[in-house]
Amino acid sequence: MAVSDDDASGAVVFKRRTVIVDGPDPIDRHVGGQLRLRRAQVGMTQTELGAKVGLSFQAVQKYETGENRISASRLYQLARFLDVSMGYFFDGLDATGNPEEDAGSSDLTRKEASMVLGAYYGIKDPRLRSACLLIMARMAERSDEEA
Amino acid sequence: MAAQAPLCIAPATAPATPEVVCTGGDGCSYLRELSAIERIAGFDHSARRYAAAAARCREQGCRAGAARAPSAATVASAEAVPMRGIGGARKLGGERNVGHADNPVPFVRAAFIDILSDSEGNFVERRQLKPQSLPVKGDALGYLYRYWADLRGAGALHVSSIDTVHLARAGVIGSMHIVDVSSDDPNDFRFDLFGYAVPISRPERPRAYPVRIYADTTLRDYNTVRLTGVPQLHRIYCRLGDTKHHYTRLILPFLDQRDRVTRLCVAIRQERGNSVKIEPGQ
């Protein structure tokens, strides 16, 4: 992926992204991460997967870190061996190619919300409940102001 | 396309125990440990996914519960393993053992041991063994050692080369520590990961083990592996406070990008008589 930058005149200049200077491309890292997850799910080692597609385990490892890009034909092969659709490798990327909100954190947020609700309705006295609500609302307002 | 497999990697060596209830207080310990290993190896994407799955996991048949206690089969096979002692250690009476490096030593009766004790009744008995003598099949530590040797043969002893599928197959997730030894001072070594199934309360650093002689010997062994880059295998029998421990420990070095040993993978196999409480007065 190319990265853009503005030069002195304000014109957008595209430069080629390199792994050494810029690190792995986030999309390549995401695809590699998905590959690693799926490989682990089916219980296949890097060596075993490499043997299936004619690669060394180091090459598989470089795909997983995003250090090496996976070609379209190789991705197709990997999808076949791992029994997933091609789209699986891009799951969790938004339209701009950035990883969407982390599934883990959204799960935790949901868990927290359900705990708060449980605790709130655990308070039997309605006056205490509304006092709690008021405190929470004030705290939220205050953190908005601080932000 | 087939339905997706569950995220939890079941160790192939562990027996199926569907009735085991998840024992993780705030999620699956097994998946949380997988997540920690992935994070240490530098795979943040899979680390986050495992952490998310761990937070969700409330199902029965959890691997964390299965790995908490060693299976009877593991203990039995450990007893029958003929291992080779390292030459040069001292006998109990202080006499030097010379030229016995290649002789198989029946493990339980081996006389070549290092013993340290303190005034409070604690003792640490260590027998150094050859990692090469670990059995190739049916042994978690043997599998792990061979995996490490394969990585070394391929010149890929970096932390990022750790493949959790191999760890799961070995059945060492939960009984494995990862120690950060990047400091030159052994007192600053710290646990990046402390196996959830190891029955010792988790300290932040090896130096913080409550029994000094135990901390000293542990740090000495860690530092030896850090400095030499050579794996070490010990059978350890010790008394720490009111508990006796008996286990086999394999220490494997891993490198950073500058090829310095900065991490140790320490795998434990609990042996018969591990975690035995001692009655007062004994």
Q: Residue B234 sits in a domain of what CATH number? A: 3.30.450.20
Q: Are residues B152 and B239 in the same domain?
A: yes
Using CA atoms, how far residue A81 sits from A44, A73, A84, B10, in Å, is 10, 13, 8, 20
Q: Are residues B38 and B166 in the same domain?
A: no
One-letter amino acid of B53: A
Sign, Cα dihedral of A56, A62, A65, A66? negative
Contact B43 A39 (CB under 8 A): no
Average pLDDT over residues B115-125: 89
pLDDT band at residue B26 under the 50/70/90 scheme = low
Taking 50 as the threshold, does the pLDDT of residue B153 lie above it?
Answer: yes
**Is there a domain that residue B107 lies in?**
no
User: Do B200 and B242 touch, CB atoms closer than 8 A?
Assistant: no
Report percent pLDDT > 90 for chain B. Answer: 35
pLDDT in tens, chain A (147 residues): 555 555 566 666 677 777 777 778 889 999 999 999 999 988 899 999 999 999 999 999 999 999 899 999 999 999 999 999 999 999 888 776 676 655 444 555 555 666 777 777 778 788 888 888 888 888 887 776 766
Residues in A touching B169 (Cβ below 8 Å): 43, 45
pLDDT at A111: 58
Chain A CA closest to residue B168:
A43
Q: What is the ipTM of this complex?
A: 0.71
Between B186 and A120, the more confident residue is: B186
**Is there a domain that residue B51 lies in?**
yes
Contact A40 B165 (CB under 8 A): yes
Q: SS3 breakdown of chain A: % helix, strand, coil, rounded to 5?
A: 65, 10, 30
From A65's Cα to the closest Cα of chain B, the distance in A is 7
How many domains, chain B?
Answer: 2
Tens digits of per-residue pLDDT, B58-74? Answer: 554 455 554 444 443 44
Which among B5, B45, B161 is the nearest to A41, CB-wise? B5
pTM over 0.95: no
Which among B45, B163, B166 is the nearest to A33, CB-wise? B45
Here the tokens at position A13 are: 């200049």
Residues B160 and B182: their CA atoms lie apart, in Å, by 16
Which among A41, A58, A107 is the nearest to B156, CB-wise? A58
Contact B165 A44 (CB under 8 A): yes
Residues in A touching B164 (Cβ below 8 Å): 40
Three-class DSSP labels, A108-138: HHHHHHHHHHHHHHHCCCHHHHHHHHHHHHH
Residues in B touching A61 (Cβ below 8 Å): 156, 160-161
Q: Residue B3, SS3?
A: coil
Q: Are residues B135 and B269 in the same domain?
A: yes
Q: Any idea which of B77-81, B256-260, B263-267 has the lowest mean pLDDT?
A: B77-81
**Is there a domain that residue B202 lies in?**
yes
Q: Are residues B63 and B122 in the same domain?
A: no
Q: Are residues B141 and B33 in the same domain?
A: no
Taking 50 as the threshold, does the pLDDT of residue B241 lie above it?
Answer: yes
**Is there a domain that residue B18 lies in?**
no
Q: Are residues B127 and B256 in the same domain?
A: yes
Residues in B touching A65 (Cβ below 8 Å): 42-43, 160
Contact B165 A103 (CB under 8 A): no
For helices A46-53 and A72-82, give the axis angle rounded to 10 degrees.
120
List, as ranges, residues 63-82 from B with C-beta within 8 Å of A.
none
Which residues of A lie inside 8 Å of B (Cβ-Cβ)?
Answer: 29-30, 32-34, 36-37, 39-46, 56-58, 61, 64-65, 83-85, 99, 102-105, 107-108, 111
**Is there a domain that residue B1 lies in?**
no
The label of the residue with tokens 């929470």 reads A136
- The burial of A147, by beta-carbon neighbours within 10 Å (0-12 exposed, 13-18 middle, 19 or more buried), is given as exposed
One-letter amino acid of B209: Y
What totals of helices (H) and strands (E) does chain B contain, helices first? 7, 10
**Is there a domain that residue B21 lies in?**
no
Chain A CA closest to residue B9:
A41
Taking 60 as the threshold, does the pLDDT of residue B21 lie above it?
Answer: no
User: Do B178 and B268 touch, CB atoms closer than 8 A?
Assistant: no
pLDDT at B246: 92
Q: Are residues B54 and B117 in the same domain?
A: no
DSSP H or E segment with residue B90: none
In angstroms, what is the C-alpha Rg of chain A? 23
User: Do B39 and B84 touch, CB atoms closer than 8 A?
Assistant: no
DSSP H or E segment with residue B281: none
Domain carrying residue B226: 113-277
Q: Are residues B52 and B121 in the same domain?
A: no
Here the tokens at position B245 are: 């421990």
**Is there a domain that residue B54 lies in?**
yes
The label of the residue with tokens 């701009």 reads A96
Taking 90 as the threshold, does the pLDDT of residue B242 lie above it?
Answer: no
Q: Are residues B37 and B126 in the same domain?
A: no
Q: Are residues B120 and B206 in the same domain?
A: yes
Q: Are residues B43 and B179 in the same domain?
A: no
Residues B227 and B161: their CA atoms lie apart, in Å, by 21
Q: Are residues B145 and B51 in the same domain?
A: no
**Is there a domain that residue B97 lies in?**
no
